[in-house]
Structures are given as structure tokens and as C-alpha cells.
Structure 1
């Protein structure tokens, strides 16, 4: 199963953003195809990450600029902590809007971001939120980025409350 292709690519030369785009795609593929995260990471590293001189942008889900180490770390962290991430998401989502009701790409994005927000404070939570909002704008044209912003802010308050206290 192919991961979703991006509508509008994230600016080239941003390998950390590319890693986040690829992590969302990989988590989507893992869930939809029932493939293990490790198998999907291997597929992405071999076939989907890095430049392809014949193509520009992000055709067929290819991510030409991606920090491969960050990509693998994010996918593994999301897979390892999926129960804790999903529990936190369930707490911040409206009771009549369960996680399973979300668009699967949006669910993958929130899981990847949740995994990153669970990590120590590098990068700062504002950077993480802004990065995933850029990614959300690449995948969605509607209200999903605004929705993601609210959910990510709530997750950040749970996982990194001390950063909010510092201002």
C-alpha cells in the first residue's frame, strides 16, 4: 500500500521537515497495510527517501530531502509508545470524536508529533508544533491543520508542561 502523496511539497533543503513528512507517511503505511514499523522503515530508506534526479517534488510519496536518522527515530518512537500516545490523544479529543474516526493521515501525523513531544526538549515544543503544522498544510487543504494545531497544543501541555510555564 502506498503512503499518501503530498499535495504541496515542503520546501527543499529542510531535511528535518522531510523526516517528519516521511514519518507520517510511514506510520500511515504501517497502519493501513499492517506492516511492521521496522519493515516500513527499511522500505522507505531503500526506495522512498533521497533524491531522484528524474523527479522534482514529492511524486508517489517520495521525500527527496530527509534526515534518515530522525525519520527512523520518529517512526520507532511512535510505534514503541503508541499506547501512551493514543491514550493522550483520546484524552484531548472530544468524547464524540474517537481516534479511530480521524482521517488516517491525520492520525499518523498526530502520532508522529506525539512521539516527538514525548522526547526531551530538543527541539522545543513550539518548533515541533510548527513543523507538524507545515506538514499538515502539505497533506490537507481544509480545516485539518487548524484541528491539528489545537490537538498538538493540548498534547504539548501534557508532555511538556514545563515549557509552557517558562513562556
Structure 2
């Protein structure tokens, strides 16, 4: 936000949603380009959050949520990938799925494992991100099913 006022509740929600989207993009970029967490996080924070490209303004993101999600996804990647593998159908391990979905599952898994966000919120937010990347496909339903399984494993007390 460019002014000094505090963001409204709706703006805070939008910033959290943007942070989740940016986390998926950052994790994808890290894997595709072999870049480090620090390098990618700095790039996103300095050049993407709130940037304007050809008159399109990128949303401001919640920097704290973005950083925590990306760092936790990297630090907990083995456990998250195991949870994802258990949620996927047999013979389709995480390394065989679309890299965007892999990044999405890692970001969502990090939030499920390390943050207090209610699982239903995590699922809804990341299904919305899947819709943004795959607007005409079956992937959002697939993401919903996988994340529901992961959430029940990570946070069974919430169900």
C-alpha cells in the first residue's frame, strides 16, 4: 500500500491471497531455474509486489506470509511431498505431476503444517489459485481432493 493508512480487513485478505499466489510462483521459479529461496524471495518482494506492468498493477502481498510459506515449503519439502504422494493415486508420485501443481501442493502443505490457518481456508485459497492457472481444466477439482486428504492428515483435529 502506498499510503500510511492501515489496510482494511478485505485488503488484508487480498494481500494474503496474493502472497499465496506469489509463493506458488516463487516455488515454481525456484525449481525451474534452480534458484535459492533468498534470491527468489527478494526478487518477488522488490519487483513483483505492487509492481505495474503495461498498466496492469500487481497486487500487494503479505510479505510475512509469503516468506514463511516459501521458506517452510523448502524446509518441510520432504514431509510435504510424502503427504502429497499419499494423497495422489498409486503410481503417480509428486515428481510426475505438473510443476505448477507441485509448487501449489508444497505451498499449501507448508501452510497446513506450520501455520494456524484453518484447513478449509487453505483449501479454498489454493483451489482458487489452481483455477487461475487452469481455468478450463479439471485441475481445481483434483487440487481440492488432494488438499482435502493432505489437510486431514496434517490437521485431523480440524475435521
Q: 1:163 to 1:81 in 2, by over 3 A?
A: same
Give the conservation status (yes or no) of the 8 Å contact 1:19–1:68.
Answer: yes
Structure 1: 5+ residue runs without aligned partners? 1-11, 58-62
TM-fit CA distance, 1:37: 1.3
Aligned length: 147
* Deviation, structure 1 residue 53: 7.5
* Residue equivalent to 1:5: none
TM-score (norm 2): 0.87
Match of 1:8 in 2: none
Which deviates more from structure 2 when the two are superposed, residues 83-92 or residues 45-54? 45-54
TM-score normalised to structure 1 length: 0.83
Q: Report how far residue 65 of structure 1 moved.
A: 2.3
Residues 142-163 of structure 1: per-residue CA shift (max 9 Å, x gap): 0011000000000001000000
1:74-100, Cα deviation, whole Å (9 max, x unpaired): 000101100110111111111221111
Match for residue 119 of structure 2?
125
Q: 1:135 aligns with which of 129, 133, 143?
A: 129
CA distance in 1, matches of 2:152, 2:23: 23
Match of 2:63 among 50, 68, 73: 68
Runs of 4+ with deviation above 4 angstroms: none
Residue number in structure 2 paired with 1:38: 38
Please show how residues 141-152 of structure 1 align to structure 2 within 5 Å.
141=135, 142-152=137-147
Partner of 1:107: 102
Deviation at 1:47, TM superposition (A): 1.1
The answer to which structure has the higher helix fraction is 2
RMSD: 1.6
Q: Is the 8 A contact 1:52 1:64 kept in 2?
A: no
